[in-house]
Amino acid sequence: MTFTTKAWETIEPIYNDILNMPFIIELQNGSLPIEKFQFYMLQDAKYLEHFGRVLAAIGSKSEDNQQAIDFFEFGKNALIVERALHESYFEDFGLSPNIIIETQPVCHHYSHFLKSTVAFEPIEIALAAVLPCFWIYKEVGDEIIKNQAKENNPYQKWIDTYSGNEFGEGVRKAKTYVDKIADGATEKIKEQMLEAFVKASELEYRFWDASYKNITWERK
């Protein structure tokens, strides 16, 4: 059994919870309130700033030249391509692209989990930690496309991005690199890889949940 097969089996309960959470169900049918999607987009814009740098850091640590090139490219996509999607959504949904965004608790936790992992843990663990952001988004996008019935969904651009072939190719590459590096890892490292994969998957759930529930820093 490959590492990614075992990892996905481990997080299947989390993934099923994601598919059944109100944010995803309402995104799929187009009924998600605009303010919840605005919250999500603003936090995701901040997250991608960190995620792109994490991917570039993985590239800088990669001994395989092709892996390094691909992760630099993944980082560029996070910082430029997906950011462009956000900017178009900012316009579509009445948000200024120059708005000052405060990073809220779950986004802060997730971003710094990834940054600390790539900074202080072996590259094997960092690769496992970033994989859920690729893989879960692709699976969710595909699931929505398969089941959506509503035409003129206001969130169709988001859905099309993450169910698209180009994004799917990036997911395939990322999974291949994780399996390849896991094959040469010790059992202890593989345990830590799985722990990081599960933690990141849980944070994917919490990211959408925080957007739906408007979870912000509590101030007295």
Q: What is the pLDDT along the chain (220 residues), one digit of tens a residue?
A: 999 999 999 999 999 999 999 999 999 999 999 999 999 989 998 898 899 899 989 898 888 888 888 888 888 777 775 666 667 777 787 787 777 889 999 999 999 999 999 999 999 999 999 999 999 999 999 999 888 866 788 888 888 888 878 888 888 989 999 999 999 999 999 999 999 999 999 999 999 999 999 999 986 5
Indicate whether 218 belongs to any domain: no
Indicate whether 219 belongs to any domain: no
Establish how many alpha carbons lie within 13 A of residue 176's alpha carbon, considering only the half-sphere containing its beta carbon.
11
Asked if 104 and 171 count as a contact pair (C-beta separation under 8 A), the reply is: no
Indicate whether 51 belongs to any domain: yes
Asked if 51 and 78 count as a contact pair (C-beta separation under 8 A), the reply is: yes
Indicate whether 136 belongs to any domain: yes
Q: Tell me, what CATH number does 60's domain have?
A: 1.20.910.10
Handedness of CA 93, 79, 114, 10 (dihedral sign): positive
Q: State residue 220's pLDDT score.
A: 58
Q: What is the domain range of residue 60?
A: 3-213
Q: State residue 73's pLDDT score.
A: 82
Asked if 194 and 10 count as a contact pair (C-beta separation under 8 A), the reply is: yes
Among 7, 1, 16, which residue's Cα sits nearest to residue 174?
7
Indicate whether 187 belongs to any domain: yes
What is the residue type of 70?
Answer: D
Q: How many Å from the N-terminal Cα to the C-terminal Cα in the chain?
A: 51
User: Whats the size of the chain, residue-wise?
Assistant: 220
Indicate whether 139 belongs to any domain: yes
Burial classification of residue 145, based on how many CB atoms lie within 10 Å of its CB (0-12 exposed, 13-18 middle, 19 or more buried): middle
Indicate whether 220 belongs to any domain: no
Q: State residue 159's pLDDT score.
A: 86
- Can you tell me the distance from the alpha carbon of 128 to that of 182, in angstroms, rounded to the nearest whole number? 9
Q: What Cα–Cα distance (Å) separates residue 80 from each residue in 64, 109, 178? A: 24, 23, 24
Indicate whether 200 belongs to any domain: yes
Q: State residue 81's pLDDT score.
A: 59
Count: domains in the chain: 1
Q: State residue 98's pLDDT score.
A: 75
pTM tops 0.85: yes
Burial classification of residue 152, based on how many CB atoms lie within 10 Å of its CB (0-12 exposed, 13-18 middle, 19 or more buried): exposed
